[in-house]
Structure 1
Amino acid sequence: MAALNITPSESLSFILVGFPGLEAVHIWISIPIFLSYVIGLLGNFTLLFVVGKEQTLHKPMYLLLCMLALVEMGASTCVVPKAMWIFWFNWKSITMNGCLTQMFFFHTATMMHSAILVTMAFDRYVAICNPLRYSTILTNARIAKLGLAGLIRAVLFILPLPLFLNRLPFCDNLIIPNTYCDHMSVAKISCGDITVNTIYGFVVMLIVYGIDLMLIALSYSLIIRAVFIISSRKAHQKALNTCTSHLSVMLMSYPPGIIFSMTHRFGQGIAPHVHIILANLYFLIPPMLNPIVYGIKNKELHDKVGKYTCRI
């Protein structure tokens, strides 16, 4: 049997192919991806600017929105610039260290994103179920500490992933069928045993996202119970309206991520470009639509944004 040609990790360079089989239309595919990225940056920078300038918006809810904006811009910026190099200039090479760095920051940002959504659900629970104690329970300092805790959790859970990948041998196949380096895409092209990578990634997804979704479900079950106790129909509507933005953000964030992760592990019969479309929707849709959702649904934020845009 011929010996395997194993490349030393320090000299490795991977090839990111973008959308396999659709190389001829990469230029056209790049247009909606780039526009989505630019719209997301403009919307989130506008949100950060308005909240930063307006003293009246220096509240826990808007601090959470700013954290969400920063994390979403970070996740998309980890991916889109390199993807554009692939689509526009056909520069597909990425070093092992560059690949692991991109993967670490991207997965850390997405896990941090989930932690912020949990904190936002808790914020809505306190606002509706304990409105008189809201200002004492949720201070800006406490929100900052919760954000720091979410960041530490993300780093601790994600740090093993590049370490696990770095120990794997890679042979002749160095082609990653994706627009960016995610954990399973890189692991699958290894010629070594990836059982540890598969199990760890799946367990992290179940534990972290499972707990986060359970906490969000608990918050909203308590909110629904509190809303039904309220006798006034107008109070019902006002209470539920405060949650619709957060619910919309969750629906744009969790389903694409969960579907992408599950198809990566169990969807062997699915076409490669479908995997990659799901992977790109995962980090493009939320940052593009979230500022629009909150700008429309939140009257206070809508008025402040209007105040600055009308000056232009």
Structure 2
Amino acid sequence: MQTMSFPRCSGRLSGDDQSTRRPPPCSSCRGPKPRRPGAATSGLPTSRQMITISSASGAGANRIGPCRSGDDHSAKPMSQDARMAGCGGCQEDAMLTVWGRAESSATARVMWALGEAGVPHRRLDWGGRFGGGDDPAYRAISPHGRIPAITREDGFSLWESNTIIRWLATTCPEAGLWPVDEAVRWQAQAWMDWSAAPGRVIGPVRAAYRRAEPDADEMARTIAAAAETFAVLNAQLQGRTFVVGDQLTVADLALGVVVHRWFRIPEALERPDLPAMEAWYERLRARPAYQDHVVAKVSARPQTLGMGD
């Protein structure tokens, strides 16, 4: 069985002016130096051959791709998400890898958090149409086979998007995503846990309008139920810049993707007015990391009645 190799962090962004000075590395990047060639890498999926990303310049650089049985094993172009994002100065540290497809809400939350924190990372398409969830080696790092999961070359791995975000926020405090005040911190975590509620109601809304022959009563019923849930968040946001105050925190990261899906509902449907939540959504849209990993990836194609899957 072949072990997947993982790259060292180069601290570079594809296409960047390399003379640009980078901020110091995030503490989540500080780990053991990469293993020697051929050394075992524990805790990582090993049942699929991987072509690794290269941090070198020139031909063959910045390429990545999973090889399945019968695949052409030539390297595949690296996706936009797989670029190495900015915390420079960590050439000797292990690269963080995100396993999950870009359009997944859960994956997008993690990618957005990494973008806000400036943590070097790459993303591998996994789950859904890409498969891999039943791979025993993947189940070793994500017991229920769902995405996303993260792995690091030193053997560290973690699953569940909100847990990954908490880990990132606490190990990268300079990003400011983890409130310093204890009371605010607990409130932020409460809102993270509550984020499952809008997650449960947005699914039926999407299913209703995407049917080949949408039912008007079903759409009205599901939108009303979702609006009742989102009204709770709207009330919390009144008089606040972000969910628990004036600073973006883990609470916003947990809720921002599902709210994006709400505002992507087809214009043909009547959506109740939630002004405080809409103003918050516009503030999120002004953030580059949110644009890159949420707006550009989640429900990105035009949302129309009867659009199907």
Does the alignment reach a TM-score above 0.5? no
State the structure with bigger RCO (CA 8 A, min sep 6), 1 or 2.
1
Question: TM-score range with shorter-chain normalisation?
Answer: under 0.3
Q: Provide the TM-score with structure 1 as the length reference.
A: 0.26
> Please, what TM-score do these two structures have when normalized by structure 2?
0.26
In terms of fraction of residues, the more helix-rich structure is 1
